[in-house]
Amino acid sequence: MTRSDLIARISAIYPYMHIRNVEKVVSIVINSIVNTLRDGGRVELRGFGSFCIRKRKRSEGRNPKTGEKVIVHEKKVPFFKAGRQLKDMVNGRAISERN
């Protein structure tokens, strides 16, 4: 699903909302997540999952074309961990079936 697909679905569910307002809401949510992660925070959406930043250490790689050694600098990467409720829904289990 793309951002425009998400906006279209939300607009279909809430036809009384103007599409520009739906676009603003989606942008605000996404930007809030990005800004929180950028500032070193963690975002948890109960029942869905959590986003955090993980640091990758400096490492040595190889250029696939030449085979030459290349230094890969330390960097931050976003990480998403799905929540139990999301995992259950994806696997077709009702929430009440959990043990």
Domain residue ranges of the chain, discontinuous segments joined by +:
1-41, 52-99
Q: Is 2 helix (H, G, I), strand (E, B) or coil?
A: coil
Q: 2-50, pLDDT tens digit by residue?
A: 999 999 999 999 999 999 999 999 999 999 999 999 999 999 999 999 9
Give dist(CA 14, CA 18) in Å, integer: 9
Res 22: pLDDT: 96
Strands 75-82 and 49-56: antiparallel
- Whether domain 52-99 has CATH 4.10.520.10: the reply is yes
